[in-house]
Chain A
Amino acid sequence: MTIVAVLFVVVVLVFVIEMLRRQKIREKYAVLWIVIGIGTLVLAAFPDLLFWAARVIGVQVPSNLLFAIALILLLGVTLHLSREVSSSEDEIRSLAEEVAILRADLRDVQGQLPAEREPRPRP
């Protein structure tokens, strides 16, 4: 069982690192997953850690502690992504505004150029 868990986490980690290497994912997001992956590896390698933590916190069924941690982490990741998407959207809107204004200005400038541009005579 432990070996399956470890294998799974390793596969995920390799996948994340590979994406990072190919620049398919930004560092700030990859870091999050790598940290979570390593944490999971530690837990898989030393299951006693989970039992010990459950006893200290006062959770009767250790696996419930695991579920709770997983939920909280995923919630955190999702909130983080929502925030990043929002700020990206703001940036896109700003750019769209700038581009639209620039295009209008460009049209005005073009309208002022002489309709037929003859090559300038060389001095």
Chain B
Amino acid sequence: MTLTPRSKTLVIMPAWNEAESVFSTVQEVLEHGPDCDVLVVDDGSTDATARLAAEAGARVIRLPFNMGVGGAMRTGFKYALQHGYEQAIQVDADGQHDPREIQRVLDGLANADIVIGSRFEDRKEYEVKGPRKWAMVVLGGVLSRISGTRLTDVTSGFRAANRRAIRQYVAHYPAEYLGDTIDSLVVAVRSGCTVAQVPVNMRARQGGTPSHHPVKAAVYLVRSGLALVFALTRKKSSPVGD
């Protein structure tokens, strides 16, 4: 039955109006990535994203309205849990995450529940500037402290999760979708998930436009900070058992 996974790994790809790049990204993952199923979560796109993703060989979930990356990821994790996948990894539809590095990020799950594919200072192929950079530094410092690991790129979307983390995400993924990457990480760490990071290259977008405008970037910084404060002051969620 196709409802049971063909592979034990699910690649979750949030996509919003990524018609220009989604086809090649999915193909590239299937070709150069590890053995995996690809799930594209089409978030109310108005272009041909869903059709192109399916043509490239991905399974497609179409959300009825735009819910943001956080909502799309929670849907993906629910799917992974319901269909019995052992591990899941987020890969952006814009091709910025190199499919050849998926296996390396997944390998990190050997010693952690969540693995972040991180841009390191010394790998300068993709530079981050402005508010996003400051956010990365400040938030990275705080998150490193509470997770007990040095984390240099907490806003990175290139993230793998094992079953324990998937279950945790499904149960407690912030419904607010407020600074989703930060919030979800804090919640997971505080309920006992361990985090590790693996150095990766971040490539240029393969097409289309980034969703972050300068103004949006500033708002993003404020929201991330707020999300962090809220997440830290919220009551600890209990770890989700098997």
Contact = CB atoms under 8 A, between A and B. Distances in A.
Interface of A: 90, 93, 96-101, 103-105, 108-109, 111-112
Given A90-B175, A104-B59, A104-B61, A97 B3 contact: no
Interface centre among A97, A104, A108 (most CB of B within 10 A): A97
B3 to A, nearest CB: 6
Given A96-B67, A97-B74, 13 more contacts: A96-B63, A97-B63, A97-B67, A97-B71, A97-B75, A100-B61, A101-B78, A103-B61, A104-B61, A104-B62, A104-B79, A108-B3, A112-B2
Contacts of B3: 105, 108-109
Most A Cβ at <10 Å: residue of B3, B65, B75: B75
Ranked 7 nearest A-B pairs via Cβ: A97-B75, A104-B61, A90-B175, A100-B61, A108-B2, A100-B63, A96-B64
A96 B78 contact: no
Contacts of B63: 96-97, 100
Contacts of A108: 2-3, 59
Given A105-B3, A109-B3, A99 B64 contact: yes
Nearest to B79: A101
B147 to A, nearest CB: 27
A39 to B, nearest CB: 35
10 contacts: A90-B175, A93-B175, A96-B64, A100-B61, A101-B61, A101-B82, A104-B59, A104-B79, A109-B3, A112-B2
A108 B82 CA distance: 14
Interface residues of B, number: 19
Contact of A104 (B60, B64, B71, B74): B60
Given A93-B67, A93-B175, A100 B75 contact: yes
Contact of A100 (B1, B2, B62, B175): B62
Contacts of A98: 78
Nearest to B68: A93
Contacts of B79: 101, 104
Contacts of B71: 93, 97
Interface string B49-93: 000000000011111110100010011001100100000000000
A29 B11 CA distance: 45
Contacts of B61: 100-101, 103-104
Given A93-B175, A108-B3, A112-B1, A103 B74 contact: no
A112 B3 CA distance: 10
A101 B1 contact: no
Nearest to A91: B175
Nearest to B42: A100
Contact of B2 (A93, A99, A101, A111): A111
A54 to B, nearest CB: 40
A101 B1 CA distance: 16
Nearest to B175: A90
Interface in B1-48: 1-3, 41
A109 to B, nearest CB: 7
